[in-house]
Amino acid sequence: MKRLVILGAGTAGTIAANKMRRKLKKDEWDITIVEQAPLHDYQPGYLFMAFGRQRIRQIRRPVPRLLPRGVTLISGSVESLNRDEKTVVLADQTVVPYDYLVIATGVSPRPDQTPGMGGGQWGKSIHSFYTFDDALALKEKLATWEGGRLVMHVTEMPIKCPVAPLEFSLLADSFFRRRGMRDKVSITFVTPLPGAFTRPIAAATLGDLLGSRDIAVEPDFMIERIDEDTHALVSYDEREVPFDLLVTVPVNMGADFVGLSGLGDDLNLVEVDKGTMLSTKDDSIFALGDATNIPTSKAGAVAHFQMDLFVDIFLRHLAGKEAEEEYDGHAICFVESGGGKGLLLDFNYETEPLPGSFPFPLIGPLRLLKESRINHWSKLAFRYVYWMLLLPGRYIPMSAHLSLWGKKRPKTA
């Protein structure tokens, strides 16, 4: 019996467990998944939760309910890997042997990495919405906040869902307008990037959108520390951005065991081949989803497209063959823009988000890089797709590869 061990039962690990169990023969392969949390969260729901627009039961489910029969779940936290012996060691010292390993332990926000961030002001004047508990605490804060300087801040890239901080700023604008207190709130978006997004055409569109909602942008802001006494972000080039309420996305880091095992970079992201997701250091280890260092967005859609190709990549690797179809970095992101509208971005390693229609030219019905109501409704509907189709690894009629159909490159770009 060969042993496949998957680490992490988040989006990528759960899809992998479901798809691999269907494809790998039961009398040849034993599949085990290790997960530290009892509950699986639909993380895009955190954004809506912060504004009181999503209920807990809509975004949380017990991990065992999402896994197929024939996959053994071990509840525990991975502490280290012993790559010579091919074993995983858990915090309670359980040893799990493997022949092949899939690391899908994602990334986590680490406020401890920025001086002044995770201290006494955390949960008071400093908030976040990148974990369940933080989103809940922010919801309570926003419900009673009387206004002032709201700063939405991104510490360092890459982060999961790089559009979520933009969405937060735009939804905050709508939220305070609805409450009749927008004139009491200034909103500033502080980013280490030169603009609102990583790629130029989308950065221009999203930057205009922020401007149209009276949201100021502070670009190229490399934070050094937070001054807890004066309530200000301080950058290495000595700029200061004062706040009354800071909503921050802390540094996102991979799991510590990745760094300790020598498989990762300085953010503990597993270094992999960007087409096959095979570790560049160990040919019995793959990584999927947010846990890797590949140069595309960290998004659930990425885990989904990778998994459309991964089973074949894995089986061909075992047979000593090159991958037939490699992953091209394809990512799709809905951007909720407030007022019941949203935008859609569709891109990959080579092609930046372009305007146009999706999935069909002219008729769409979804609009790329343009606000529309149907984009907003599609974003909301995605939650059902996530639980019912995506996690169980069922067929979703969407290509794993980017299509240029319906996309137009603006003449000036």
Ligand X SMILES: Cc1cc2nc3c(=O)[nH]c(=O)nc-3n(C[C@H](O)[C@H](O)[C@H](O)COP(=O)(O)OP(=O)(O)OC[C@H]3O[C@@H](n4cnc5c(N)ncnc54)[C@H](O)[C@@H]3O)c2cc1C
- Per CB under 6 A, residues contacting ligand X are 8-13, 34-37, 43-44, 46-47, 77-78, 104-106, 129-130, 160-161, 164, 255, 257, 289-291, 298-301, 303, 333-334
Q: How far is the CB of 299 from ligand X (least distance, A)?
A: 3
Read off the tokens for 111. Answer: 């406020």
Residue nearest ligand X (C-beta atom): 10
**C-beta of 39 vs 413, nearer to ligand X:** 39
In angstroms, give the least distance from the CB of 319 to ligand X: 27
Q: Which is nearer to ligand X, 40 or 231 (CB)?
A: 40
By beta-carbon proximity to ligand X, the closer residue of 102 and 190 is 102
- For the bound state, the minimum distance from the C-beta of residue 221 to ligand X, rounded and expressed in Å, comes to 20
Q: Which is nearer to ligand X, 172 or 299 (CB)?
A: 299
Q: Do residues 310 and 298 touch, judged by C-beta distance below 8 A?
A: no
Q: How far is CA 204 from CA 198, 265, 336, 410, in A?
A: 10, 31, 17, 12
| Residue whose C-alpha is closest to residue 337's, from 384, 377, 301, 381 | 377
Q: What is the rounded (10 degree) CA torsion for 348, 353, 359, 363?
A: -160
User: Any residues with CB less than 8 A from the CB of 62 and at least 6 apart, and which?
Assistant: 38, 39, 40
Which are the contacts of 141, defined by CB distance < 8 A and separation ≥ 6? Answer: 127, 245
CB of 353 to ligand X, least distance (A): 14
Pairing of strands 78-82, 39-41: unpaired
Min dist. Cβ of residue 279 to ligand X (A): 15
The residue among 41 and 232 lying less far from ligand X, judged by its C-beta, is: 41
Residue number with CB closer to ligand X (43 or 276):
43
For 362-371, b where at least 16 C-beta lie within 10 A, e where not — what string? Answer: eebebbbbbb
User: Minimal distance in Å, beta carbon 311 to ligand X?
Assistant: 16
